[in-house]
Amino acid sequence: MKLIRPTEEHLPSLTAALEQGWSPNNTRDVSQEELEAVRQNPSLYLENLIDREAKGNPITLPDRSIVLRLPGYRLWLWDGNFCGIIGFRWQHCTPDLPPYCLGHIGYAVVPWKRRRGYATQALQQLLPIVKLEGLPYVEITTDPDNYPSRRVIEANGGILVGEFIKAAVYGGSTSLRYRIFTDNIQPKALDGLGI
């Protein structure tokens, strides 16, 4: 499995996953929105996966409120077919995130590709790229009972910094906040990603 910046030839594999109801967003089902965006303008969809200047459309939260987009990018997990996504978002010159953003990194693997270590590998491959942004650490959050996600984070050096209560827009439930410090990570730009 490797991370890729997809091209139009990769889109049928994503489309098949979205048509099966898979959503790349863990807080709200966006499968139909993503499918519509791919079908309406495939090249624009692909272009918007990398948005370092936050020029894309605002973000719709689970309660349908609208917030400003952060700089970020989404890469695909690929093993010859679409396996999922991993995304990174940040604010320039600070590791802090606005309250509506649960963490710097989020990932989602399609159900039929789980239990293969792909999320762990994806995070491992992403961290050297993230290091190039100059953040002293990245934060990743997960629900306390999401043991697979906890293992992914911990396998990549994640340190549990505490519990917190999610904002009401995310259900107001307890969540865990992990940090991965970047000081020992060697920065690396992956060829062909254009980030």
Does the pTM of the predicted model rise above 0.85?
yes
58 is a domain residue: yes
149 is a domain residue: yes
189 is a domain residue: no
Provide the pLDDT for residue 61: 87
End-to-end, the C-alpha distance of the chain in Å comes to 19
Contacts of 192 (CB under 8 A, 6+ apart): 4, 5
159 is a domain residue: yes
SS3 category, 111: helix
| Domain of residue 57, residue span | 2-181
Number of domains forming the structure of the chain: 1
Provide the pLDDT for residue 28: 85
Provide the pLDDT for residue 62: 86
Provide the pLDDT for residue 27: 84
195 is a domain residue: no
Provide the pLDDT for residue 75: 97
Task: For strands 174-181 and 137-142, give the pairing.
Answer: antiparallel
Provide the pLDDT for residue 60: 87
CB atoms within 10 A of CB 194: 10
Provide the pLDDT for residue 98: 94
Best CA proximity match to 71, nearest among 48, 46, 42: 48
119 is a domain residue: yes
- Composition of the chain by helix, strand, coil, percent to 5: 30, 25, 45
186 is a domain residue: no
Tell me, what DSSP letter sits at residue 170?
G
Residue listed under structure tokens 């959050």: 141
85 is a domain residue: yes
CA distance 168 to 149: 22
Query: What residue ranges of the chain have pLDDT lower than 70?
Result: 190-192
Best CA proximity match to 126, nearest among 2, 23, 34: 2
Provide the pLDDT for residue 176: 98
CATH number at residue 44: 3.40.630.30
Contacts of 55 (CB under 8 A, 6+ apart): 69
The long-range contacts involving 148-152, CB below 8 angstroms and separated by at least 24 positions, are 148/114, 148/115, 148/119, 149/119, 150/176, 151/120, 152/107, 152/119, 152/120, 152/123
Residue listed under structure tokens 């690929």: 78
Provide the pLDDT for residue 50: 95
